[in-house]
Amino acid sequence: MSVFVGDAQADRVVPPTGFTARLTLFAAGAMAFLTVFALALSLASGRLAVRWGDELAQSSTLRISAPSEQLQAQTILALRVLESTPGIASARALSAEEQRGLLAPWFGPDLPVETLPIPQLVEILETEEGYDAAGLRLRLAAEVPGAVLDDHARWREPLERAAGRLRLLGWVSIALIGATTAAMITLAANAALAANAQVISVLRLIGAQDGYIARAFVRRFTVRAFLGAAIGTFLGAGAIYLLPEAQDEAGFLTGLGFVGAGWFLPVLIPPIAGFVAYAATGAAARRTLRGLS
Amino acid sequence: MIELDNIAYSYGGGELLSEISLKLAPGSFHFLTGPSGSGKTTFLKLCYGALVPTAGTVQLFGKDVRDMDRDDHAMARRRIGVVHQDCQFLDHLPLRENVSLPLTVSGRDSLEQNTNLKELLHWVGLGNRASALPPELSGGERQRAALARAVIMSPEVVLADEPTGNVDWEMSQRLLQLLVELNRMGKTIVIATHDMNLIRSAKNHVQTRVLRISNRKLQLAGADL
């Protein structure tokens, strides 16, 4: 905290302006702006993974394809098999209306489902424990030859994996942005220290300890990085807020953005940027001061 | 206080100073003379620990400079006021902040700083120049400001490197007077200069010891002065 409170008189020993000030402000601001997006991406992909998992987990679909005169009999048979299978909470055949609704996005609302050779779909809801999919397939193959069980695993797993990778990519991006911020602030601090060799020489001449000299530089860079990051975060969060919301038609995507308490996460970016600058400048100052005779 | 024991200092493959021993007694007043390039500035730097001798030992307030870390050096420099020939100010700070810089870096409170500063600037005749930036000061004003900065911590020793090098005779007498006053307050003074008139003038006011660097060695001078 003393970094921010500081010592007004001590702060003045380092000349106030120069390109390093602008570089630090710009670098911290730009990196914070990018961090907001990486954070939003990461959180959105996390939500996506949860949503895909929730929507597809613990449900399965049975598809019964049979000649129209056998379709109802096979459906009844399949429902009996399902009702007697451990791990299945409920099973119900979708009505013609529901099946029409599922096909409507592709064929329009007036599709005469009854006249088309469309398979009968049965929605299966699992218990917490779930059922033995391999065993159920064997029973269905024996008793309802036209039934195909889709337990959604082949959809869910790659989608969840992709969402997980996307989330990981977001965090890796944030780590890279943090490292780049540290590198750029270190460069700026080194340049400032080199440009102020005369100031350092005078301060040493009059009895300033290296810790005092380092703190004067560290405080300045920390405050600049904090302010730059605050501006970048504000602009980034504003840009996210102004993004168009995901429409119902694109409901599969949750949209890039923050939800609820997630909006508070960007608030952490400026202090973290300040800490990164504090650590990077401190290391640079100690190294430079050790090297100066 | 400051003790040099059989020291030598080499630079760039050549020996600049050799077989030098000196003990600065409290309250003593020394002049250091010698031709340009004889090593007067190097000698002063050895006296305040900015340089480490290549042979022999330098002790600052009882500590060997080789055993001192950077913080020890900083503490020693608060007890040794140094006036450089080129003064070395922070050009972006007004005179009052430059002069009070030693108090600032040592964490003294601002009330103490203001009290000391007003008296000191008045003493060196710069009371009305407190807000001026160093580049706005004349050569004499810069030298007096450097002297004020050197003594604001009330150091035990004042080392001055050609303090009258860039000023006229009248101003050099004013600066000498200030250094004599400091000596009367009990401070140890060492002035490196090639200005023999300054030394002769000082002898009228204070008991001095004149040292000369010649052929890398430190000799006691005096008969010709």
Distance in Å, alpha carbon of B127 to nearest chain A alpha carbon:
20
Q: What is the pLDDT of residue B112?
A: 62
**What number of other Cβ atoms are within 10 A of residue B109's Cβ?**
8
Q: What is the pLDDT of residue A252?
A: 47
Q: What is the pLDDT of residue B178?
A: 85
CB within 8 Å: A13 and B90 = yes
Burial (CB count within 10 angstroms: exposed 0-12, middle 13-18, buried 19+), residue A154: exposed
pLDDT tens digit sequence for A218-262: 888 899 999 999 999 999 999 988 887 765 555 545 567 788 888
Identify the CA nearest to A124 among candidates A95, A75, A152, A88. Answer: A88
Three-state secondary structure string covering A71-112: HHHHHHHHHHHHHCCCCEEEEEECCHHHHHHHHHHHHCCCCC
pLDDT tens digit sequence for B95-131: 999 998 888 888 876 666 666 788 888 888 888 999 9
B74: nearest CA partner in chain A: A207
Q: Assign 3-state DSSP to chain A and report helix, strand, coil percentages, each to 5.
A: 70, 10, 20
DSSP for residue B66 = G
Q: What is the pLDDT of residue A201?
A: 87
Residue of A13, A198, A205 for testing the chain B interface, max B β-carbons within 10 Å: A205
Q: What is the pLDDT of residue B140?
A: 85
Q: What is the pLDDT of residue B61?
A: 92
| Torsion angle defined by CA atoms of residues A118, A119, A124 and A130, in that order, rounded to the nearest 10 degrees | -140
Give the full edge-to-edge strand order of the sheet including A59-64.
A88-93, A120-126, A59-64, A147-150
- The domains of chain A are located at 2-53+162-291, 58-151
- Round to whole Å and give the CA distance between B114 and B116: 6
Q: What is the pLDDT of residue B224?
A: 44
Out of 3.40.50.300, 3.30.930.10, 3.40.50.460, 3.30.420.40, select the CATH number for domain B2-221.
3.40.50.300
pLDDT tens digit sequence for A79-123: 999 898 998 888 999 988 888 888 877 777 777 767 778 888 999
Look at residue B186 and give its three-state secondary structure: coil
What percentage of residues in chain A have a pLDDT greater than 90? 16
Which segment of A48-57, A169-178, B2-11 scores lowest on mean pLDDT?
A: A48-57
* CA A192 from centre of chain: 36
Residue A17 predicted with pLDDT over 80? no
**What number of other Cβ atoms are within 10 A of residue B170's Cβ?**
8
- Round to whole Å and give the CA distance between A258 and A101: 32
Residues of B with CB under 8 A from a CB of A: 50, 70-71, 73-75, 77-78, 82, 84, 88-90, 92-93, 97, 101-102, 104-106, 110, 149, 153
Token pair 């006021």: residue: B81
Q: What is the ipTM of this complex?
A: 0.82
Residue A16 predicted with pLDDT over 80? no
- The domains of chain B are located at 2-221
What is the C-alpha R_g of chain B? 17
Q: What is the pLDDT of residue A126?
A: 85
The pTM of this model reads 0.70
- Round to whole Å and give the CA distance between A33 and A231: 8
What is the C-alpha R_g of chain A? 31
pLDDT tens digit sequence for A255-277: 677 888 888 999 999 999 999 88
Residues of B in contact with A203 (CB under 8 A): 101, 105
Residues of B in contact with A289 (CB under 8 A): 70
Strands A120-126, A88-93: parallel, antiparallel or unpaired by DSSP? antiparallel
Q: What is the pLDDT of residue A253?
A: 52
CB within 8 Å: A210 and B74 = yes
What percentage of residues in chain B have a pLDDT greater than 70? 95
Q: Which CATH class is domain A58-151?
A: alpha beta
Distance in Å, alpha carbon of B165 to nearest chain A alpha carbon:
20
pLDDT tens digit sequence for A198-211: 888 889 888 898 88
Residue A4 predicted with pLDDT over 70? no
* CA A210 from centre of chain: 42
- Round to whole Å and give the CA distance between B102 and B100: 6
- Round to whole Å and give the CA distance between B192 and B32: 4
Cβ contact B20:B181 at 8 Å: no
**For residue B222, what pLDDT band results from cuts at 50, 70 and 90?**
low
Cβ contact B180:B208 at 8 Å: no
Identify the CA nearest to B124 among candidates B92, B105, B146. Answer: B146
From the list A15, A205, A208, the residue facing B92 with the nearest CB is: A15
Residue of B90, B106, B110, B112 for testing the chain A interface, max A β-carbons within 10 Å: B90
Beta-bridged to residue B161, according to DSSP, are B192
pLDDT tens digit sequence for B131-176: 999 999 988 889 889 988 988 888 999 999 988 877 788 888 888 8
What percentage of residues in chain B have a pLDDT greater than 90? 40
Token pair 């949860």: residue: A50
The conformational region for residue A58 under phi > 0 = left, psi -120 to 50 = alpha, else beta, is left
Distance in Å, alpha carbon of B224 to nearest chain A alpha carbon:
35
Q: What is the pLDDT of residue B9?
A: 93
Cβ contact B18:B178 at 8 Å: no
**What's chain B's length in residues?**
225
